[in-house]
Amino acid sequence: MSAQTGHTERTLDQLIPIAHRISDAINSVIEGKPETVRLAMTVLLAEGHVLIEDVPGVGKTLMAKALARSIDCSVRRVQFTPDLLPSDITGVSAFNQELREFEFKPGPIFANLVLGDEINRASPKTQSAMLESMEERQVTVDGVTYQLESPFMVLATQNPVEMEGTYPLPEAQRDRFTARISLGYPSAKAELAMLAAHGSHSPLDELKPAAHASDVRALIAAVREVHVADQVRQYIIDLVNATRTAASLRLGASPRAALHLLRASRAYAALEDRNFVIPDDIQALAGPVLAHRLLPTAEAVVGRDLPEQALARIVERLPLPGR
Amino acid sequence: MNYRISVAAAFAVIMASFSEYALISGADWLLASMGAVIVVMAAGILTRLAPPQAVIGSTILAAGASAPLLADRSILVKVAGLAIIGCCAASASRVRLFRPLADIVTYLAALLLYLNLTLAAGKSFLYVIPTMASVHHLVALAHAGTALARYSPPVPDSKGVVLLAAASIGYAAVVVDILAVRLHRPAIAGLPLLVIFMSPVATAAKPSGIATVLTFLLAAIGYLALLASDGRNRLRGWGRIVTVWHYSGEDERLGGADIRGLAATGRRIGFAAVCAAIVAPLLLPTLNLHQLFSAQGGHPNQAVAVLPNPVDQLHSLLSSTRTLPVLSYRAAGTDQGEYLQVYVLNYDAARGIWTLLPPSPSTAIGVTPLSQPPGLSPGINVTQTTTTIRLDNVAGSSTGYDSSLFFLPVPYFPITINFEASSGDSWEEANDSLMIFSGNGDHAGMSYSVTTGKPVVTAAAEHSSAQVPHAIKAAYLGFRSSVTRQLTTIARQITRSAGTKFAMAQALEKYFQAPGNFTYSLQALNLPNSAKGLLTFLTTGRKGSCEQFAFAMAVLARLVGIPSRVAIGFTSGTQAHQGGLWHVTTADAHAWPELYFPTLGWLRFEPTPGGANGQGSAVQPSYATPKSPGGSKPGNNHQQHGQPGPSSPSRRIGAGHLRVPASDPLPPQSTVPIPSAPAPVGQILLGVLVLLLLLATAPAAARIISTRRRWHSAVNDQALARAAWQEICADLADLGLTYRASETPRALAARLCADTDMDDRTQAAMRRISTVVERTRYALESPPATGIRTDVRQVRRALAGNVNFPARLRARLIPASTIGPILRRSRHWFGQLTGWVSTLPTEG
């Protein structure tokens, strides 16, 4: 691995402490959610995007902000509203009177971390403009293509309760998010600690960047070299195939999902100081990475059999390859 | 394409064909028939393939099978062969008529090619393509097989019989395949199956009770499997619905809706229907199910040519009140009489009775010289006698020993035979027993002369140390009964002072002939012809006819290691005057033992007392009496040496068969104690016990062996890690601790450490194992696995400590890791065959 990354780049062993520093910084703001923080970090290192879906007030935005703050990089926040236009995200070409030519004004998407708040409130047109740039990592305005900087990660939040006047993300769009994270209510103890910490001042203000964007770039490059054994690849394929044939699922996971799962598992393994992926990583990531892409059958909906449960059953029954 | 029903149809035919065991001995016919059925199944599958493959396949088969037709000189035959091939090729066209014709040709061609390959490969072109020579060979075999069908079943499985069996069962398979698979009428396919099953019933075969039930069950299982398979097939056609999200891939499980539940329901309905079908006849008063399961598979008096029952014929001759002349003869060059042998009997250990040796293989007389007597070595002198025999007419039959096969009375052993009044009948000589017989039954008034030889028994021959050939040992030493031990004790006591086998035979004859020891009585004809009857005769009854004497001596000889058989025929009869004709009557009907000695061959012995108080014309052969050094003969005034001599005319009207009154018991001179406590039961119990013990320890032994092999074959770190993990999984399965196939090494270690009672050291060992296994499997470099075996041992001990004693015992004796895969595999195969697997409880 070190041979492949070259002598000029740092090895994974040297870089992982940086990742842990970022995690620690976020954990100091979000009380009692280390697993969620780790998932967010996993998605960052896997060059993916994360969809944070939860009820209001559990700290979705705080989480995204904390992640953005803990890394010394450009951060932009977009509050999605029904009247938001695609150009409000990608940027516009405006006519410069002095130079007598059109000049591109970059939109908020041109940042390392983009926080898209309440993404389901924007019109489908705007949503798709953003999602396209997420996938392509580039923006095309007036025939000119502008590359986005690396690292580039979109943290989109979505409120599943308040559905009136919203445009829920279609399945095809949800497929572009590497993982869906749900924060959930904090434990009583964590909530008590939160009251003590956030009561007088905001810890977010005290948060100092724990790493630079170049560190994150190096981390991402190092994570790509994490070893994935054939058996583990086979396991991913088996798992994805199983979702496609499960009786209670109308739509299974896509090949893109398999790719996302592979990338995420590399990052997850790296965050655990391991330079190889084990099936445990896949099992841990199966829910966050796959569940939001699955559609239950009508019978399963009536029987309140959520895709998460179907997925858990599959993981529990699917034999490991090459035992 | 679903081949299950084709396989089920073939399976049903094979199961039904087991019932033919009563007709044919050996196993070659069964193997050949199984092959024929499989070939027919394959041909059936071929006809149901897509048109191009089916047409090409059937044309090739037809061309191969009609090769002899094409090679024929006649234009007409050639055209016929071309027409057959053309018919198959034309089945590709739209004319519908050709398809069924081509299908039938395919079946028959495949069957012919198979029979040709198995039975006439040597005469075929490239071993496969039949030629005129191979077809002629097959026809000759079929004729030979048909000729054997005259004999009482079971007939030996000569090539001819194998051909007949394979061909007929193959044709039945064709019919079954057409009915069950092509026409989807498996119920009607039961008819050809029934024909196969019933054919032993239509003959004189006598299968035993258990075997009848067994063959019935096998045939029934085959038929039910066929019905079940068809039912399953039909039901699978029901629930095929088009779904939006699943597409039909290569994997059948992905295609269509999940109809396993529906199919299982269908099977249950089918199972219930079968149960009802079995129970319903019981409720009908008109049906008598006992006949179905009765021990008598067939009636002995069926109108089928069968081998005669010599013992019954002897009974009827001896118990007849009228004495009728049978034949008269003159022996040239000697004035001594000759025993005339008609039948030779051997003991059938399977049925526990003495039966006529089947006269096959046999040689046609006139084509080749008569067979050499078995066992006689060239160095032995032989006295030759030519006897001219003329048959009288006895009650419509020639000798009284009548049957559809006529056996000629001749002295043993015949060297040449001439039929003076040639009636054009073909005579055959049985190669083994030298019996001479013909298919034509009426030979009254026939004359023939036969030159016979008798070995001169010398002291050197008596003491010969030559070994009995294995073939003779295998065929003529068997005896099996519940009283063998008592009989052996008796035989040993009689022969304890004898040094050689020949002396033993002499001692046995002397034992029967000793005055007062046994009484000749025709009333004892009804003594059961069984081993127990024999024991009664030897110990308490001591009264019998020539039949009992002959069988007793033959059995006792076998028990001291002398091969023996029983001959039935006539004594030498009586001579009217010195130098005159010898007359043999029905009263001279007789049975005597023949014992086998290396270099001498078969020698006649005479245990039956002769003279007025015995079988009148019975004489002891001279060699049967031990030659004492002093030259004095044993003082037995009943013994007659040489010829019986001119006797009073009264003897000729059956004086030899004086009805000895029952109240005339002679005290037995030498008493033989009856050994008590029948032993075989103990031995059988011991055998069963040993077998059970072996069966009980087999799984445990298999587990130990697999553990050893696992560790022994682990040469590097990777293999060690793999072996360690397999061992841990096997231990968990054995101890009944849960283990999921989806559990990773890390997860399993964590669960075991948390859930089971392990000390810190064991937990560390478990974690070490899981880490090594994990890194071996998934990391780039595998870590060293030293000491992993110790860790596994430690974990195993800790795991065993977590379950109770019965579970530990079960893990040792019936380890689930050994038995589980076998059970799963057998269930899988059973399911493959019948499709009933879903009705059985499955794991998980």
- Domain ranges for chain B: 4-238+258-291, 308-678, 688-839
Give the separation between CA A143 and CA B161, rounded to whole angstroms.
Answer: 91
* Residue B408 · residue B427 · CB < 8 Å: yes
- CB of A227 closer than 8 Å to CB of A206: no
Instruction: List, for residues B278-293, the tens digit of each pLDDT value.
Output: 666 666 544 444 333 3
Tell me the pLDDT band of B123, cut-offs 50, 70 and 90: confident
Task: For residue B777, give the nearest of A229, A244, A316 by CB distance.
Answer: A229
Q: Is the pLDDT of residue B299 over 50?
A: no
Tell me, what's the pLDDT at B203?
65
Nearest residue to B199 via CA among B249, B154, B137, B148? B154
Nearest-angstrom CA–CA distance, B457 and B377: 12
CB contact under 8 A, B779 and A276: yes
Give the model's pLDDT for residue B113: 93
What percentage of chain B's residues is helix, strand, coil (to nearest 5)? 50, 10, 40
Q: Any idea which residue has 């007929």 for tokens?
A: B168
User: Which stretches of B436-568 are DSSP H helices?
Assistant: 459-462, 470-476, 484-494, 501-513, 531-536, 546-559
Check residues B255 and B478 and name the one with the higher pLDDT: B478
pLDDT above 90 (res B215): no
β-strand pairing of A50-53 with B362-364: unpaired
**A228-257 pLDDT per residue, tens:** 999 999 999 999 999 998 888 888 899 999
Alpha carbons B47 and B56: distance in angstroms, whole number: 10
* Pick among B248, B727, B729, B742 to test the A interface (most A CBs inside 10 A): B742
The two tokens of residue B262 are 């529906």
Q: pLDDT digit string (tens) for A151-209?
A: 899 988 887 776 677 788 877 788 889 999 888 888 888 888 888 877 777 778 888 88
Please report the domains of chain A, with CATH numbers, ordered by start residue.
Answer: 11-225 (3.40.50.300), 226-323 (1.10.8.80)
| Distance of alpha carbon A169 from alpha carbon A175, whole angstroms | 10
pLDDT, residue B200, reads 74
Lookup: tokens for B14: 């094979």
**Greater model confidence, B135 or B400:** B135
- pLDDT band for B269, please (50, 70, 90 cuts): confident
CB proximity A319 to B under 8 Å: yes
A319/B777 Cβ within 8 A: no
B chain contacts of residue A293, beta-carbon cutoff 8 Å? none
Q: Nearest-CA residue of chain B relative to A243?
A: B246
Q: Give the separation between CA B106 and CA B47, rounded to whole angstroms.
A: 7
Total residue count of chain A as it appears in this document: 323
Return mean pLDDT, chain B: 78
Q: How far apart are CA B835 and CA B225, in angstroms?
A: 9
Closest CA to B703 of B823, B811, B825: B811
Terminal alpha carbon distance of chain A? 26
* Length of chain B in terms of residues written: 844
Residue B765, number of CB atoms within 10 A of its CB? 22
Backbone angles phi, psi at B472, to 5 degrees: -65, -45
Judge whether residue B48 has pLDDT over 70: yes
B702-729 mean pLDDT: 90
Cβ atoms of B518 and B512 within 8 Å: the answer is yes
Residue B778 to residue A232, Cβ atoms within 8 A: yes
Region of poorest pLDDT, from A93-102, B263-272, B544-553, B682-691: B263-272
In this structure, is the dihedral angle defined by the CA atoms of residues B3, B8, B9 and B15, taken in order, positive or negative?
positive
Q: What letter does residue A320 receive in the DSSP assignment?
A: P
More confident residue, B343 or B576: B343
pLDDT at residue A9, as a whole number: 57
- Nearest residue of B to residue A314 by CA position? B742
pLDDT of residue B280: 65
pLDDT at residue B173, rounded to an integer:
94
Is B721 exposed, middle or buried (CB count within 10 Å of its CB: 0-12, 13-18, 19+)? buried
Residue B837 has pLDDT above 70, yes or no: no
User: Measured between beta carbons, which residues in chain A are less than 8 angstroms from residue B728?
Assistant: none
Residue B207's pLDDT is what?
62
pLDDT at residue B650 in the model: 36
The DSSP secondary-structure symbol of B540 reads I
Q: Please give the pLDDT value at position B252.
A: 44
Q: Which residue of B has its CA nearest to A239?
A: B742
| Most confident listed range (A206-220, B118-132, B162-176) | B162-176
Q: What is the ipTM of this complex?
A: 0.85
A residues 202-261 lying closer than 8 A (beta carbon) to B:
227, 229, 231-232, 244-245, 247, 250-251
- Report the percent of chain B where pLDDT is more than 70: 78
Q: Between B826 and B254, whose confidence is greater?
A: B826
Q: Chain A within 8 Å of B742 (Cβ-Cβ)? A: yes
Residue B24 DSSP code: B
Q: Residue B255: pLDDT above 70?
A: no
B1 touches chain A (CB under 8 A): no
Between residues B251 and A211, which one has the greater pLDDT?
A211
The secondary structure of residue B293, as a DSSP letter, is H
Any idea of the CA torsion for B498, B504, B506, B511, to the nearest 10 degrees? 90
Higher-confidence position of B61 and B390: B61
- At B42, the pLDDT band (50, 70, 90 cuts) reads very high
8 A C-beta contact, residue B24 and residue B153: yes
Is A209 strand, coil or helix?
A: coil
Element (H, E) at A70: helix A60-70
What is the pairing mode between strands A75-79 and A113-117? parallel
Residue type at position B407: F
- Comparing CA positions, the residue from B577, B583, B572, B591 lying closest to residue B324 is B583
- Among the listed residues B365, B375, B330, B532, the one whose alpha carbon sits nearest the alpha carbon of residue B437: B365
**From CA B44, how far away is CA B3, in angstroms rounded?**
10
Residues 6+ apart with CB under 8 A from A102: A93, A94, A95, A96, A142
B666, pLDDT greater than 80: no
Contact across the interface for A280 and B743, Cβ inside 8 Å: no
Query: CB distance A231–B774 less than 8 Å?
Result: no
pLDDT of residue B767: 92
pLDDT recorded at residue A287: 92
- Measure the CA–CA gap between B312 and B633, rounded to whole angstroms: 37
C-alpha span between B507 and B498 (Å, rounded): 7
Among B646, B669, B585, B499, residue whose Cα is nearest residue B323: B585
pLDDT attached to residue B199: 78
Q: Which of A285, A293, A323 is the best substitution to test chain B (most B C-beta atoms within 10 A)?
A: A323
Whether B363 has a pLDDT exceeding 70, the answer reads: yes
Confidence of residue B302 (pLDDT cuts 50, 70, 90): very low
Rounded Cα gap, residues A254 and B310, in angstroms: 86
For residue B291, give how far its alpha carbon lies from the nearest alpha carbon of chain A (Å).
53
* Bridge-based pairing state of the strands B382-391 and B427-430: unpaired
pLDDT tens profile A45-87: 999 999 988 887 888 778 888 888 888 888 888 898 889 998 8
3-state secondary structure of B138: helix
User: With a CB-CB cutoff of 8 Å, which residues 271-290 of chain A face chain B?
Assistant: 275-280, 283
Measured between CA atoms, the residue of chain B closest to residue A318 is B742
pTM to 2 decimal places: 0.48
- 3-state secondary structure (DSSP) of residue B641: strand
Nearest C-alpha in B relative to A233: B778
Q: Are A153 and A114 in contact (CB under 8 A)?
A: yes
Q: Which of A59-68, A263-272, B443-452 has the highest mean pLDDT?
A: A263-272
Q: Please tell me the least confidently modeled range out of A13-22, B658-667, B687-696.
A: B658-667
Buried b / exposed e along B27-58 (16+ C-beta atoms within 10 A): ebbbebbbbbbbbbbebbbbbeeeeeebbebb
Q: Which of residues 698-737 of B touch A (CB under 8 A)?
A: 725, 729
Asked if the Cβ–Cβ distance from B779 to A229 is below 8 Å, we say yes
Q: What percent of chain A has pLDDT over 90?
A: 24
Chain-centre distance of CA A189, in angstroms?
Answer: 27
B646: Cβ contacts below 8 Å, ≥ 6 apart = B575, B576, B577, B578
Give the model confidence (pLDDT) of B194-206 as tens digits.
Answer: 888 887 766 656 6
Q: How far is CA B681 from the centre of its chain?
A: 25
pLDDT value at position B166? 92
Could you give the CA distance from residue B624 to residue B28 in angstroms, rounded to a whole number? 43
**Helix, strand, or coil (residue B578):** coil
pLDDT score at A33: 85
Q: Considering only CB atoms, which chain B residues are within 8 Å of A280?
A: 744, 746-747
Assigned token pair, A34: 């280390």
Angle B680-713/B816-834 helices, nearest 10 degrees?
100
Instruction: Collect all residues of chain A within an 8 Å Cβ-Cβ radius of residue B725.
Output: 323
Encode pLDDT of A105-152 as tens digits: 888 999 888 888 888 888 888 888 888 788 888 888 888 888 888 889
d(CA B332, CA B449): 10
Q: Which has more pLDDT, A10 or A302?
A: A302
DSSP state letters, B439-474: S----TT-EEEEEEEEE---HHHHT--PPPPHHHHH
A251 to chain B: which residues are within 8 Å by CB? 245
Q: Find the CB nearest A231 among B244, B258, B777.
A: B777
| Tens of pLDDT, residues B312-346 | 777 777 777 777 778 888 887 776 778 888 888 88
Per the listing, tokens 């195993």 go with: B796
Q: Residue B647 — pLDDT band, cuts 50, 70, 90?
A: very low
Q: What span, in angstroms and rounded, lies between the C-alpha atoms of B789 and B711? A: 8
- B351, amino acid identity: R
Q: What pLDDT is stored for residue B291 in this prediction?
A: 38
| More confident site: B641 or B111 | B111
Short-list B213, B277, B269, B230, CA closest to B12: B230
**Residue with token string 């006047």:** A165
Q: How confident is the model at residue B146, as a pLDDT? A: 77
Torsion of the alpha carbons at A109, A115, A117 and A122, rounded to the nearest 10: 20
Question: If contacts are CB pairs under 8 Å, which of residues 198-257 in chain B contact chain A?
Answer: 244-246, 253-254
Please give the Cα distance from B398 to B392 (Å, whole number). 6
Give, for B483, the enclosing helix (H) or strand (E). Answer: none
